Structure 1
Amino acid sequence: MPLQENGKIFKSLDETYNRFTFLLAVGLMYPNPKTDKMRTAGLCVIYLLCVPMFLILCNDIRIRQQNNDVQNLVRQVVIFVALMFANTKSFLTIIYKKELREIYDSINVDYAAFNDLPEDFQELVEDTINKSKSLETVWLAIVSTTGGIFPGSALLLNVYFFLFTDTPRRFMLHECHIWNLTPEQQYSSPVYEIFFLYCCFITLVIVLGFSGFDGMFSICMFHLSLKIKIIMKKLEYVLDKSDLAKTKANIAQILRDQSEVYNLRDKLLKGYEVWLVLIFILSVTQTAMALSQITSSKQMSGATLSFILFGVTCTAHIYFPCYLSSEVTHTAAKVSDVLYSTQWEDISDTSIRRSIMFMIARAQKPMVFKAMDLITFNMEMFMSVMQTAYSMLTLLRK
């Protein structure tokens, strides 16, 4: 991989992922000291604009509960929780802005340092960044498609019934009772048009809320895995039997790199642990509710397709953090094996051998992601979430 003339190929986090910066900025998810006040004010405005929808959904839930309409009750709860979670994540970026900013600043420092690495190291960096971008693209596509299916299906049904049937009718983006309005009043102009556009705005808030914060977590996790891989790459050159002073300097650098990895892991847990606990709860409940909507539908419709995609999104929402956490744990576990294979036992200097043994012992401790010391994120937890969601589904179906 040839270097550019100025020797710089890796830019800052903002520039590296510039294709996603717009979504992060519009979604008010990216902590920036220069825009903190404006971002906080913008979030408050968005939340206030969402309040009418919260009230409408609460009123509809009350009506469904009184009528014992479990199917539609679940449908309203699904949207209510999704909207609440999107707003909550936005405010988490304010509450944890210092921690998140430290994470992003440390990544920027690493990117600057990557430009001075040998070419084979830079290939590893570029490969990791490309994988990170690919996963980000997949997640944005899933969220955007799921969000877009709600207004898209409503528009298509409106066009179809007005152009190809003898009984034209209107379809809401999300069917619900609007306070004391009768169905005739809800579907009459201009109430229908205003509420349809308002629902489109709510959909946009949910899509942006689910894209920025989650996307940045995947970028950070890939970066953590990359730092571990760079350590393993450095271990190939750590021992120089002809120059013990150089060997000691190499070991000292790797020890610093190990400390940076653990510090970054701790910062990630501190900045994202509330979110991790929330997505665990959300994924279990939302997946079960989405499946209940799908299985209760007797025939395929726009609403059924919407909830199929919603169920896929809920599954991906918990799968990606579990997969990335497991990937980091698996990668970190290889460090001790690589260290042991460096032929350190042939070194006569006892201080070097002692340092190597210390590094091996440190690397043998599993690097796990345990949110709030309660929930360990790995693929085993993903399977547990799916099993719990299925158990909840059976309860909702009874």
Structure 2
Amino acid sequence: MRVKPVFGTGLIVMENTNSKIKAFESFNNTFKYCTYGMVFSNIYPNKTNMKRRLYLYIFIVFCTSPCLISYAYSCRFYIMQQDMFNLTRHLAVGIVIGLYLFKVLYCILNTNKFESILNTVSCDMIDVNEFDDGAKKLYGLFLKKAKLGELIWALLPIILGLQFPVYAGIVMIHENIWKDYPQREMVHEMEITFAKDVKYDSPVFEIIFVISTASCIILIPNFCGLDGSFCIATTHLGFKLKYVGYLVREAFEDCNDSFELHVKMKHATKCHQKALQFYKELQDFYGPWLLGIFIVTSSLIAFNLYQMYIIQRLHPKYVLFAVAAILHMYVPCVYASNVTEFGEDLATELYCAAWERKFDISATKSVIIMLANAQRPLILTGCGIVTYNMQLFITVMKSTYSFYTLITST
């Protein structure tokens, strides 16, 4: 039996197949880190519980409201005091929290779009088991790239999210061992309106520390789920494009009669149209997220550079934050660039296929149509404002440095 999970419906479609062991499984079974991240971050695309997930989102915001209120008050306080160092330190954390709040709400409200993308990936992965050995080997290469992207977004958020409570804990351990009058370290230092004079006293300090740590932990699965799914989905699109070229090449090289050639070319044309439609779905769903990533990472890098400039040393927390921000921008640029590259390669592969060996007008016309469609670049953008490629990454690095020099000169 072949099992096809349908995201968000609770349905499982089973089809008769041979009894041999399947090399490729569904999305949930293959990309477990990403799936768990979506589940625990409340963005798993299940349209049957959208209201419950929305209520849970509101409940989480309510539970963390003391930290959010203190954060807003601190920003106002630092602005009034013209304290640029603490303001940028606060904004560096605040825009990450803002990105999290946006992503969760966005995924809940766009469950149908997200579900369609993951369903396409999952069903296609199971269908690969019915392909020939050459196609299976091709998909195996793309699967490794997808798993690498998943692994990056499983580790990077953990390092970034836990650095705050871990650093605070290390500082307090050092204080208690080496100093007669140890001081306490907050997870993130800020002005707390309702506990301004007693925030370092027990049990207020412990309560705030636990709430702040919980807030850091809540952020981790979200990045693993949504950001990881982008790497997986774009890699899958790359396979779909590469598979079209593989089908056309095999059709002209292996077919012995016109009927078989027409059948294979018709299948290749359908696969190409599905790949183009999948590209449109990716752009439609991930576009706002890509724009948010561009804004957040650019600001984060500049803010952390400014903080290290003020203290005149490489602080571990700020260095790690800046490196994580750079990777947060670099990884989507790489995977988006791969999509554009595979789209360009498809045009070359179609032209280089042995179509001139077959004197078949219908098959040649199919190649011409696919070749014309392949001429349009497959570019992923942030709502049409920023184009994601490696040039964007270089531009962001230059713009960030320019912004850094601007704020350091004021």
Contact kept, 8 Å, 2:37 with 2:223, in 1: the verdict is no
- In 2, distance between residues paired with 1:187 and 1:162? 15
Deviation string, structure 1 residues 135-192 (Cα, Å, up to 9, x no partner): 2112221211111111001111111111222221111111111115345x11011110
Q: How does 1:82-161 map to 2 (within 5 A)?
A: 82-161=96-175
RMSD: 1.7
Query: What amino acid does structure 2 have at the position aligned with 1:176?
Result: M
CA apart distance, 1:43: 1.3
- In 1, distance between residues paired with 2:285 and 2:163? 32
CA apart distance, 1:98: 0.7
Q: How does 1:277-292 map to 2 (within 5 A)?
A: 277-292=291-306
Deviation string, structure 1 residues 98-153 (Cα, Å, up to 9, x no partner): 11111111112211211101122112222222221122112221211111111001
Contact kept, 8 Å, 1:288 with 1:393, in 2: the verdict is yes
Contact kept, 8 Å, 2:146 with 2:232, in 1: the verdict is yes
Give the equivalent residue in structure 2 for 1:272. 286
Residues 59 and 207 of structure 1: is their aligned pair in 2 closer, same or farther, counting only changes over 3 Å?
Answer: same
Contact kept, 8 Å, 1:7 with 1:115, in 2: the verdict is no
Contact kept, 8 Å, 1:146 with 1:306, in 2: the verdict is no
- Higher alpha-carbon deviation: 306-315 or 237-246: 237-246
Contact kept, 8 Å, 1:287 with 1:389, in 2: the verdict is yes
CA apart distance, 1:5: 5.5
Query: What amino acid does structure 2 have at the position aligned with 1:91?
Result: L
Q: Say whether 1:195 aligns with 2:195.
A: no
Query: What amino acid does structure 2 have at the position aligned with 1:230?
Result: Y
Deviation string, structure 1 residues 262-299 (Cα, Å, up to 9, x no partner): 10010111111111111111111122112211222234
- In 1, distance between residues paired with 2:193 and 2:132? 65
Q: How does 1:1-398 map to 2 (within 5 A)?
A: 6-179=20-193, 181-183=195-197, 185-239=198-252, 240=254, 242-300=256-314, 304-398=315-409
Query: What amino acid does structure 2 have at the position aligned with 1:385?
Result: V
- Higher alpha-carbon deviation: 248-257 or 285-294: 285-294
Contact kept, 8 Å, 2:301 with 2:325, in 1: the verdict is yes
- In 2, distance between residues paired with 1:104 and 1:180? 44
Residues 157 and 388 of structure 1: is their aligned pair in 2 closer, same or farther, counting only changes over 3 Å?
Answer: same
- In 2, distance between residues paired with 1:336 and 1:6? 36
- In 2, distance between residues paired with 1:66 and 1:40? 35
Deviation string, structure 1 residues 203-246 (Cα, Å, up to 9, x no partner): 11222332221111111111111111222222221115630111
Contact kept, 8 Å, 1:255 with 1:359, in 2: the verdict is yes
Contact kept, 8 Å, 1:151 with 1:200, in 2: the verdict is yes
Contact kept, 8 Å, 2:73 with 2:193, in 1: the verdict is yes
Contact kept, 8 Å, 1:86 with 1:205, in 2: the verdict is no
Q: Across the two proteins, how many residue pairs are aligned to each other? A: 391
- Higher alpha-carbon deviation: 355-364 or 247-256: 355-364
Q: Secondary structure at the match of 1:177?
A: coil
Residues 310 and 349 of structure 1: is their aligned pair in 2 closer, same or farther, counting only changes over 3 Å?
Answer: same
Q: Secondary structure at the match of 1:115?
A: helix
Query: What amino acid does structure 1 have at the position aligned with 2:114?
Result: L
CA apart distance, 1:20: 3.7
Residues 181 and 46 of structure 1: is their aligned pair in 2 closer, same or farther, counting only changes over 3 Å?
Answer: closer
- In 2, distance between residues paired with 1:182 and 1:362? 63
- Runs of 5+ unmatched residues, structure 1: none
Deviation string, structure 1 residues 32-68 (Cα, Å, up to 9, x no partner): 1343333222211112223222211111111111222
Percent identity over the alignment is: 25
- In 2, distance between residues paired with 1:96 and 1:33? 9
**TM-score, scaled relative to structure 1:** 0.94
Deviation string, structure 1 residues 343-381 (Cα, Å, up to 9, x no partner): 212332222222222222221221111332222111111
Deviation string, structure 1 residues 2-27 (Cα, Å, up to 9, x no partner): xx962422111111112443222111
